[in-house]
Amino acid sequence: MLLNSTIQDVAKIGCCGADGPVDYINLRKPLPSECRDSVTGNSYFHGCVDELTWYLEGKTAWLAAIVLASCMIAVVNAVMSLVLIKAVKKEEDEAINYK
């Protein structure tokens, strides 16, 4: 089920096989309907590796921004954790000295 879903999702991108329809020809397998344009019936020329690469190249700035933001959040969390640990230790030391 997951494989069929993945193939259908990839078909929305407009690609066929890893390197193109030749992948299916080399395996002596028929081209799946997902490898064909639903309007013209022609097979997609480009492989999915190329199509996904081109797709992700356009999203590089967004991906970099998300990664950078995630890293910054992690650093802020680490600093806040250290501040909290220091505050708790100070409170414990003061409580011990108070007794």
Segment 81-87 shows an average pLDDT of 97
pLDDT of 1 strictly over 60: no
Q: What is the mean pLDDT of the chain?
A: 85
pLDDT of 99 strictly over 70: no
Burial class (CB in 10 A: 0-12, 13-18, 19+), 15: buried
User: Half-sphere exposure of 11 toward its Cβ, with a 13 Å CA cutoff?
Assistant: 17
pLDDT of 89 strictly over 80: yes
Segment 50-75 shows an average pLDDT of 91
Contact in structure between 52 and 59 (CB atoms under 8 Å): no
